[in-house]
Amino acid sequence: MTTNLVPAGDPVPFDVTAPIPGGTVILEASAGTGKTYAIAALAVRLVATGEARLDQLMLITFGRAATSELRDRVRASLRNVHDALAGSQPATEHAELVSHLHRQGIAGQARRRLRGALSAFDTATIDTTHGMVSRMLSTLGWAAGRDPGLTADNDDSAMIAQITADLYLARYANAATQPPLSLQEAKDLVSRVIRSPGTAPAAGPSALTGSPYLPAVPARGPATGDVQIERAWFAGRAAVVRSIRARLAGTFGFDDLLTDLAAALTDPATGRVARTRMREHVKFVLVDEFQDTDPMQWRILKAAFHGSLTLILVGDPKQSIYRFRGGDVHTYLAAADSAGTRWILDTNYRSDPAITEAVNEILADIALGDPRILVRPINCHHDRPRLAAAEPPVQLRYLIGDPETGPPTAAQARKAIRHDLVEVVGGRLDGGHTWTEKTGHARKLQPGDIAVLVRTNRQGEDIRDALLESGIPAVFSGTGSVFTTDGAAHWLTLLRALERPADTTRVRAVAAGVFREWTGDDLACATEDQIEELRERIREWARLLQAHGVAAVAEDVMASGHVMPRVLSHPHGERLMTDLTHIAELLHTTRQREHLGISALAGWLAEHIDDQHGSDQQDGRSRRLESDAAAVQVLTVHRSKGLEFPFVCLPSAWDRYEDSRFVSFPLAHSQDGQRIVHVGGRSDPTFAAALTAHLEEERAEDLRLLYVALTRSSGGMAVWWANSKANTTASALHRALFGTRDLANTVPDRVTIPAPQQIRARFAELASPERTCVEIQAVSASRGSRRVASSGGQRSGGQQAAAGGRPAPAIEHARFTRALDRAWRRTSYTALTAAAHHGTAGTRSADAHDAALTQGTDEPDELGTADEIDTAAAQGGQPRDAGSLPAAAAPSAHLPGGDVPGDQQAWSTPSPMGELAAGPLFGTVVHTVLETLDTTAADLDAELHAHCDRVIDGRFTGSGIDAHHLAQALGPVLRTPLGPLTTWRLADITPTHRLSELSFEYPLAGGDAAPATAGRTLAQIADLLADHLPPEDPLAGYPDALRDPRLPVDPLRGYLTGSIDVVLRLPARALADAGPDPAGAPGQPRYIVVDYKTNWLGQWAGQPLVAAHYRQEAMAASMQAAHYPLQALLYSVALHRFLRWRQPGYDPHVHLGGVAYLYVRGMVGPQAPTQPLTGWPLPARSGVFAWRPPAEAVVALSRLLAQEAPT
């Protein structure tokens, strides 16, 4: 199968013996049609016929590995044709060329020419693009205007950080207002501009229409408050400053080579001389992998050679999949339009007929991003299958899900497909499958013959792990950087300790890391002598590094700590060992090259770990394969390009979630064809249009990725499809299978999932015998699969014949007779109350509970349920959109709880968060800031602003939450007294008096040993609470709510897990005004369970949010509607069990101080409205809901959950 670039007039099939026209020629390939073979054949033909000497050819390809392969192929082809002409051996390759030379009567001349070429092969110009450009610049000399003393430096991370810091300081050092850009935002912008050569930064009204792409902003002048102008200023200055800095430093990068040569060739004064000099010794230029070129490379080739000599551009636009690193299929198409001749490679030498037919069936007549890029049938060299198997060579395996529960989530589908894939791979390796080599020898299929192609590193690692767990050898080769690995983190820990051996914390970190692997018990029981011994060893390593480099340190560390045998004994130890060695080599090379000390080397490594935008294609960054052993090859589609395997699995072609929230710099093309990167940010009025164009180009490349994945197989293939809730409709496979082509042969961006019967009908159509050789199999979520249809002559049911011709014995299903304890589970507050939160009446079963518990993952179609629900919705009102902002309007006459307000101060005090967005993401950001803020800072406001910047830039980039506005809103929260608990504020509580994110997991009814009849129910908890709460308690009515029929009725048996936002330890001085000390316990601290809530308690009629919405009555109603009292009780039990172990002389009556639910939107500052509360000496503040369940109730509940006898 192939694709043709369809011009006005069909391309001519490639014939190595045909006349070669002058000018520019496009040689269009398809997967498996032998591009490298064709280029080598052309080179041999040109030399053999005397049309050019070998040194008059320029062969250019992409990457060092491809260059090495091309050199070897050209040399071998020269030798093969020479020997065939000499009669010493038959022509095993290029037989047609040999025959042509004999027919032309020039065989003797050709042989002499080829012998001369082999003798002078080192004069051949076969190089990478950057090697070719460097060679050209050297040839041009003064005409290029380039300093010959420059040195190469392709690691730009340090320079980007320095440029950003300098520009930021120069721009904002004297600014009177808060900079509109954070330092991290500026660094991201500068990095993107510098690392996008040939791509114009664009912003503002003209971003998509043409030059100028950026608004004109003076290089010098004061900063403005306009974020668009500031972003344009940074974008305009970044590349200019980088170029100046590089020249001052005497360095250059690969991209500088391209820029300098393009400038030299197009310079009005020197360009003609430069172009003439480049053509002096060249007659033919052949460029491989041209579909991956970028605009700058084509600009060079066009200026130097187009229209002046024969320029042959070889490529396959269907395989243009490197857009993310500069590859531009639009450039290929523009070059193709300017070509005078088009050839096509029309025979597939890689795949068996079934593969080519199946790929054509799936992608037939679909435009892969442009109407000119189509998949069309071509000739197949192999006329019979080489993979001998009981199954048809191509399987499409589909997962629909359970009719009762509906479509699976992405995580459920992935899990089921992983299980099925393991069975498929295991079946191919069972000894009954053979592969026939080129020699005709048939051999057993080996693990290394099988490839599993995935979209992401995470998917690849999961599948590799599943294969390894099943005893199938597997290795994963992804596209990630080695700096993102655990190996890099371990080396940074060691370097930090070498930097400061006196720091015991750093020494202990090394002890706990991979280089020593002390256990928690080892660390806890370590004597001073043991710590000092390790400290002295670290000092020795520091001296060794200074004297002999990182390699010497690595050798001693590995040997003295027996690192290799320990690491290799762990699961994935081979992977970790490879990464550790790789990082050590990079550190050693960097130190030797840049003469770095320990601190500078640690800083270099930390910077590369933090650099999330660094290309993994830079020298040395890409992770290495952990093993050369025969193993199933799990690799990303990008990694697989150019490779082929007898059998290929595609488990994730159905799986694509299009999430534009994290696209900060859309990459697209303007109306005049210029490739642009939009730097204006989301508030730019043209951002939406740029984002749309970016997504359209991504979807087009996704179709090309599917083509690449489908064409890696030479003999057999298994492709999986699933109808997940959110990840299927935008996937290329689904669009290809179910999308309707329009007149331009394009398929929709998203295709609705058809009904099950339509799905089966479409698959049955694919498997019809007259159309293709595809077998369809349904995959069950419970791991099994069954054959639905097959056009390969295989029976879909019944007994198969055994090897000796006898019927195989009937296979029976294994029967599972043991009763399962379906009530035993690992549960949480969120899982227990999920049904009530979502209003699902009657959701009481264990299955429903388990489904709720699986939520909270990071999968796009299964966002975790937030426990901060809209109270109005829970009480029957209309919920507000999670991302909307409240509109200003007159206050309602009623509180959320239904009370008439009597406190005018409360109604006139606005919430500091009234204009901020709502939703789970906002709540997570607020939690993160409050739980990690250092309240001991001398300038708390400055620290709060800086911390909000760090949190949002570090973990929530693209969230749309403004760090400055968030910090302004959290200032009053920190300064609101925590009445009625204490007069102290959050700002007064230092990190030593708070424990953030106390995670717990405690057994219910005995945990693992729980008998099947054990366990307590929520109804029993309600009874216990009703027995202990006095009538005046603000939550006295909650036991009735806890009997909600929507809540689970099964016994609680197994484990309860959770994480308390914060536990506060209030010292005696903080409790001075909060009432007398408990009898007999003066000066003892109290521990408070704190939970931060960002719930919106206002009305939905456009009413502004004010403090009155967070009076005690409103918060009590919110607490009960969301079942927060249950959460408070379960968390209090966790704290009770924790303090039993950690607090000397623990007494629950003394040390349990209750719970505080801090509704931060109602915490308006020091003057927060107050309300007197019965039983509390201090008044309550708006937004602070305090509850002190009786200590007896907490102890009784702990015993109830543990199923202990009451005391």
Q: CA–CA distance from 475 to each of 574, 650, 652 (Å)?
A: 10, 16, 17
Burial label, 157 (beta-carbon count in 10 A; 0-12, 13-18, 19+): middle
DSSP structural state of residue 910: B
SS3 category, 801:
strand
Query: Looking at this protein, which amino acid is placed at residue 1069?
Result: R
Q: 718 CB contacts (<8 Å, ≥6 apart)? A: 394, 395, 397, 421, 424, 647, 648, 649, 650
337, 821, 1091, 1147: which one is catalytic?
Answer: 1091
Alpha helix stretches (DSSP H) within 305-378 = 329-338, 353-363
Structure tokens at 37: 């073979």
Cβ pair 1185, 897 in contact under 8 A: no
The whole-angstrom separation of Cα 694 and Cα 700 is 10
Q: Are 1144 and 1108 in contact (CB under 8 A)?
A: no
Residue tagged 């907490």 (tokens)? 1194
Q: What are the tokens at 568?
A: 């290799």
* CA distances, 766 to each of 756, 770, 1147 (Å): 15, 10, 72
Do 186 and 234 meet the contact criterion of CB atoms below 8 Å apart? yes
Q: Which of 4, 42, 11 is nearest to 343 (CA)?
A: 11
Cα(189)–Cα(164) distance, integer angstroms: 9
> By the 8 A CB rule, do 1166 and 978 touch?
no
d(CA 768, CA 761): 11
Between CA 916 and CA 896 the distance in angstroms is 20
Burial class for 83, CB neighbours closer than 10 Å (0-12, 13-18, 19+): middle
Radius of gyration of the chain (CA): 35
| 1091 counts as catalytic | yes
Q: Say how far apart CA 1075 and CA 1082 lie, in whole Å.
A: 12
Kind of pairing, strands 645-650 and 632-636?
Answer: unpaired
Task: Write down the residue that tokens 């390969």 correspond to.
Answer: 792
Which amino acid is present at 988?
A: D
> What token pair was written down for 934?
């250092």
Question: Which residue, 616, 628, 630, 543, is CA-closest to 586?
Answer: 616
- Give backbone dihedrals phi and psi of 59, rounded to 5 degrees, phi first: -110, 125
Q: Which two tokens stand for residue 1151?
A: 């040390």
Contact indicator for 156, 93 with CB cutoff of 8 Å:
no
Three-state DSSP state, 744: coil
Q: Give the other-Cβ count within 10 Å of 45's Cβ.
A: 22
Q: What are phi and psi of 484, to 5 degrees?
A: -95, 5
Contact predicate 1151/960, CB 8 Å = no
CB atoms within 10 A of CB 371: 13
Helices (H) and strands (E) in the chain, counts: 40, 33
Collect all residues with Cβ–Cβ distance below 8 Å to 119 and sequence separation of at least 6.
Answer: none
HEC-encoded secondary structure of 586-636: HHHHHHHHHCCCHHHHHHHHHHHHHCCCCCCCCCCCECCCCCCCCCEEEEE
Task: Please list the active-site residues.
Answer: 1091
